[in-house]
Structure 1
């Protein structure tokens, strides 16, 4: 069953964030990750929410998502992201089809 990583990213250092943007897709792809949305326009329809840069990545399953997140390759990039952005990240398990 698919699993989704959903992130709300407030970039605080755009120049430093470029390295993260450039390198992270290859790490996700190794675990079957693919972008469903990344940095596009958003519109809040209900509630008190002020999203920044939203990202949705689909993985084949939760195991693959967590393997990617905990991988040494991503941990190096995560350290870069943490220096140049404030991020909220969550996972969502998909539904059986």
Structure 2
């Protein structure tokens, strides 16, 4: 619960994924949208075809941005058993860099 007068700020989980094999993908992507939605999240970005705009780091195979009402919802999603089970499956064929950031007011 937020203190009276506190501003609730949207939060985003931003991820970049490198895919080593695709064996896990069908099962993962069949379930992940529902798990995100149960935590009031929605995908703003979900897909491949990244294009370099600046920098020299290796481009990921896919990227995503998930919007949540606030950090509490994002953290609850990340820590929930359903997501952790899917994350274990995803890790069987990919690596992920993910960060949690606050949105702007």
The normalised TM-score by structure 2 is 0.85
5 Å-filtered alignment, 1:1-20, equals 1-20=9-28
Please point out which of 54, 72, 75 is paired with 2:84: 75
The number of aligned residues is 96
Gaps of 5+ in 2: 1-8
Structure index of larger Rg? 2
| Runs of 4+ residues deviating >4 angstroms | none
**Structure number with higher helix proportion:** 1
1:7-86 → structure 2 map (5 Å cutoff)? 7-49=15-57, 50-86=59-95
Q: What's the RMSD between the two structures over aligned residues?
A: 1.1
> 5+ residue gaps in structure 1?
none
Q: Distance in 1 between matches of 2:19 and 2:94?
A: 4
| SS across alignment from 1:14 | coil
